[in-house]
A and B are shown apart, each in its own frame.
Chain A
Amino acid sequence: MSSRYPLRVDVLLGVALAAAGLYIAFESARFPKIPAQAYGPGFFPQLVGYLLSASGVLTAARALARHIRRGKADPSVGDDRTRGHEASAARAGTSGRHTPNWAAIVWVLAGLAGIAWAMNTVGFLILVPVFLLGYLYLVGEPSVRSLLVVAASTTAAWYGFAVLLKVQIPPGLLELLR
């Protein structure tokens, strides 16, 4: 039941969880109590916060203990980062042969954030096809078929949700054409 992740990952995770847990606990302590009761809306999140904090401390302590044990057993085994990275890569299904497509990842993250922020103003039928075409370009599918897939799927999805399911999808700038 022990972690096989690098020391750095477990220690950082532990510290982050401990800090987040303490913040949740202290913030929860400020919630008012139920009249004439020792408990209130703060009790449960406070408990969760303390447990999260304890889990963080345990995660970091366990990683440090493992590191010290390994160091004692074999001083040459100082760097478990490589092994840990390999283990995490194997677990994530990303072997060394694959290079992450960071451009596409950033596009997806920024694109979704942009859609969340500007969809009401710019409109679904403008923003989403641009986002999807950019995505397909960055993942290496800049074909005419991709263009057709985006056009057909966006239109079908818009029809399904806006017309059949009566969801009010923002027209945005297209409203100006009316």
Chain B
Amino acid sequence: MEHFATNFATALGMLADVQLLTVILLASVFGLFVGAIPGLTATMATALLVPVTFFMSPLAAVSAIVACTAMAITAGDIPGCLIRMPGTPASAAYTDETYAMTRRGLAAQALGSSLVSSIIGGLAGAAVLIVLAPVLASFALRFSSFEYFWLALIGLSCAALVSSSDLLRGMIALLLGLFIATVGMDGVTGTPRFTLGFTTLMGGLDFIPIMIGMFAVCEILKGLESRSGSTVSTVPQAVGSIFSGVVRLIAQYRRSVVRGSVLGTLIGVLPGAGGDLAAWVSYAMAKRFSATPEAFGTGHPEGVIEAGAANNAALSGAWVPALVFGIPGDAVTAIAVGVLIMKGLNPGPQLFEAQAPTLYAIYLVFILANLLLLPLGWLAIRLATPLLRIPRHQLSAIILLFCILGAYAINNSSFDIGVMLLFGVIAWLLERIGIPIGPIILGLVLGPMVERNFLTSMVIADGNFLGFFERPIAAGLGITAVAIWAVVLWRTVRPRQQAIAASVG
């Protein structure tokens, strides 16, 4: 307890830094801005933020990412509600509902209830992170390379399973990510792999230009492909007082808030899932358990409140496996894990011993970011009408500018602009044929971890694969991994067999 008090006091001291608070505030404003622009995702906001975090302290870098994503996800509700164009994919789950509320003259209620439920969900997710992460970390101290190998494999499997409706395409994306991770000198023997004679590739492909390319450049190319309006055609209506009657509404749907927060956190913890999936599942769950399911789709706040709580709760939940095991919960935490490694804070249970005050400060940032949502979210909603009138293409020109500078600034190398372009084109082409981008990023981040732990384990087990099942926790995790794939294969093969049987019969 004394240990906790000391760490907590140190963390508070770390947080009471004007520079850090300014970073949090600026990242929040940036997140709100990007989130409120239709089509620009929270992941893209994070990817664009990363080059700037390169110049920050580890705590400031992580704080900026936490604040930016929380704000972006919440701000995504604003254009969805006002002009039926979701700002982020997480908001798309209930865009029709909030827009229906707007058409009924309830825009303020829709935005207010969504904002407050997001704050509650975010705080609930942060509470779970604070309680669960240290417990898991003390347990994970007993892990060896065998357990880490299986954990990373489970993480990769989940990422492939939930990222796309087509398992095969999810797998292909994952394998592409794992391959990209092998480019450069091998960590064990120093053998150069797939460097194509470029000395700049000896150190491997830098993940930041890849990230900027895959999320930002790809998004711009997609926008040009669909000629998504140079200006927003629908003029949003003005919004009244957003907090009027919201407390009563939240109290009325308190079960939805709790369910959304719990479900969102659980989905967030699952590798590869993230806030987008949490919002969709929670909205469906709200309708399933509602006393008035027929009201859904007509401008009913219940689903908005539950899904709004879920997507922010998932953001915090995704940090549990990221901090404890170094296994990202979604694309945003995959970027964050990369930033942590870049800053010398290798995620894992040791981090909880060696950098406890920094971790406590990160927890406090989660709380602070969610509390900041109240005034900043309110401000963003007030400023939404002029913001949504800014021509889209002028914004995308500014984004292109930051893509170029962001990719260049990492190594002061224009080679990285080429890498960004290459991966932007690859992501654009892959998305056109239905291959999701999320698993590529997770494969890229988890690839070295899987390979390192696999090779170490094989050396320890003297090449005997049964050695992977000899330790009790490793055996449990190994059986879980095998079971996941067995269930998937069974569910894939079974309908086909039934169809064949039906056609024969």
Contact = CB atoms under 8 A, between A and B. Distances in A.
Contacts of B420: 112
Contacts of B400: 108, 131-132, 135
A157 B405 contact: yes
Contacts of B221: 105, 108
B121 to A, nearest CB: 28
B194 interface: yes
Interface of A: 1-5, 9, 13, 17, 24, 27-28, 31-32, 34, 37-45, 48-49, 51-52, 55-56, 58-59, 62, 88, 91-94, 98-101, 104-105, 108-109, 112-113, 115-117, 119-120, 124, 128, 131-132, 135-136, 139-141, 145-146, 149-150, 153-154, 157, 161, 165-170
A29 B168 CA distance: 25
B182 interface: yes
15 contacts: A24-B179, A32-B189, A39-B458, A39-B459, A40-B191, A41-B188, A45-B179, A45-B193, A51-B171, A92-B226, A112-B420, A116-B415, A131-B400, A135-B397, A136-B393
A94 to B, nearest CB: 4
Interface string B363-397: 00000000000000000000000000001011011
Nearest to B169: A3
Contact of B434 (A5, A37, A41, A139): A5
The 7 closest A-B pairs by CB, nearest first: A41-B186, A116-B418, A116-B417, A44-B451, A112-B421, A139-B393, A94-B226
A115 B417 contact: yes
B222 interface: yes
Interface string B175-190: 1101100100010110
A149 B398 contact: yes
A95 to B, nearest CB: 8
A157 B402 contact: yes
Contacts of A136: 393-394, 397
Given A41-B193, A108-B220, A108-B224, A116 B179 contact: no
A98 B176 contact: no
Contacts, number: 190
Contacts of B425: 109
Nearest to A87: B434
B409 A141 contact: no
B401 A104 contact: no
A44 B394 CA distance: 44
B417 A112 contact: yes
Given A31-B186, A39-B459, A112-B217, 20 more contacts: A9-B433, A13-B433, A40-B189, A41-B188, A41-B191, A44-B450, A52-B179, A62-B168, A88-B434, A94-B225, A100-B226, A108-B224, A119-B417, A120-B414, A128-B404, A135-B393, A135-B397, A139-B230, A146-B397, A153-B397
A136 B333 CA distance: 33
A52 B168 contact: no
Q: Which of A17, A104, A154 is most buried by chain B, counting CB atoms within 10 A of its CB?
A: A104
Contacts of B434: 3-5, 88, 91
Contacts of B230: 139-141
Nearest to B434: A5
**What does DSSP make chain B's interface, helix, strand, loop or mixed?**
helix
Contacts of B4: none
Interface in B206-222: 217, 220-222
B503 to A, nearest CB: 9
A141 B225 CA distance: 17
A150 B391 CA distance: 13
A100 B225 contact: yes
Interface string B235-268: 0000000000000000000000000000000000
B405 A37 contact: no
Given A52-B179, A157-B401, A116 B222 contact: no
Interface in B184-204: 186, 188-189, 191, 193-194
B52 A165 contact: yes
B12 interface: no
A43 B220 CA distance: 37
B168 A55 contact: yes
Interface string B434-476: 1000000000000000110011001100010000000000000
Contacts of A139: 224, 230, 393, 396
Contacts of A31: 186, 191, 193
B464 to A, nearest CB: 11
Nearest to B398: A153
B171 A34 contact: no
A155 B52 CA distance: 17
B54 to A, nearest CB: 8
Contact of B194 (A45, A58, A119, A150): A45
A109 B429 CA distance: 13
Nearest to A154: B401
